[in-house]
Amino acid sequence: MPLNLGNDGDGSSRIILTEPRGSTAEVLLFGGQVISWKNERREELLYMSTKAQYKPPKAIRGGIPVCFPQFGNFGGLERHGFVRNKFWSYDEDPSPLPPANKQSSVDLILKSTEDDLKTWPHSFELRIRISISPGKLTLIPRVRNIDSKAFSFMFALRNYLYVSDISEVRVEGLETLDYLDNLIGKERFTEQADAITFDGEVDRVYLNTPTKIAVIDHERKRTIELRKEGMPNAVVWNPWDKKAKTIADMGDEDYKTMLCVDSGVIEPPVLLKPREEWKGRQELSIVSSSYCSGQLDPRKVLYGDN
């Protein structure tokens, strides 16, 4: 399993995962964050802000940040929690996960510190396995309660996807579901459209979502399929033009080529008893797609050929 190491300008480690067909992923120990995922043709599949700042402890905008123990402003902690601002370590004991055969992977761990306990008074271990295989990027997060009391938490993988043109993108698999609209004080609505399309700012937390969601990029004739387990929420976010201009570490025009479709357990949070462990799983995969009249066959997108 090829595993290459490099250093960033601040001296932190960068792990480069590769697989035989040529696709790659780059992971930082800072934040335990995937910052690049390229297919065998060296095409980037994740969005990174043109103004992203690699200056710890500032979080990096783009890739796949890890949000814990809070997502967004769904609580009293800093936005998206604090683990995306921390340096993680290599996990020398990734059991009880099975070995990652025929794919390149890295196991990382973050343990709560005394400073963390001042912010959030619960002792935890947060692990994540990041694996790459042809056409697929897999993340397996685990949270263990090593405290003497139960605690509740939220968790999300914020997937910044690189798209050709946000106005030509469709998200399928969330139709008829309830969602909380962050633009209207987390009011609850039911999705009425047969697919989510974009002509303005969107910031929604979908509830009780299926295990598979499809992000259809018409211009590239490509679908990104999100499969997830243990994370029943899906967040869909694009800031559009006005909000993008207010975000310091985001280019004014970046909103046109990015879309966040996140896996999460946010509402309701997870309640974890002492010595218990929570586990999630997310797979992002690329499906080449041809379409007729701008419409994909959703059965193929959502259920595949196998």
The sign of the CA dihedral 4, 163, 78, 126 is negative
Q: Torsion-angle region of residue 193: left (phi > 0), alpha (psi -120 to 50) or beta?
A: beta
pLDDT digit string, tens, across residues 147-197? 999 999 999 999 999 999 999 999 999 999 999 999 999 999 999 999 999
Select from 145, 158, 175, 147 the least CA-distant residue to 226: 158
Q: Would the pTM count as exceeding 0.85?
A: yes
For domain 4-292, give the fold.
Answer: Beta-galactosidase; Chain A, domain 5 (2.70.98)
Rounded-to-integer distance, Cα 259 and Cα 165, Å: 10
Judge whether residue 95 has pLDDT over 80: no
> For the segment 247-279, what is each residue's pLDDT rounded down to a tens digit?
999 999 999 999 999 999 999 999 999 999 999
Is pLDDT above 50 for 305? no
The domain ranges of the chain are: 4-292
Place 103 in a pLDDT band, splitting at 50, 70 and 90: low
CA atoms of 237 and 162, how far apart (whole Å): 13
Q: Are 224 and 215 in contact (CB under 8 A)?
A: yes
Token pair belonging to 126 = 């947060």
Q: Model confidence at 55, in pLDDT bands (50, 70, 90)?
A: confident
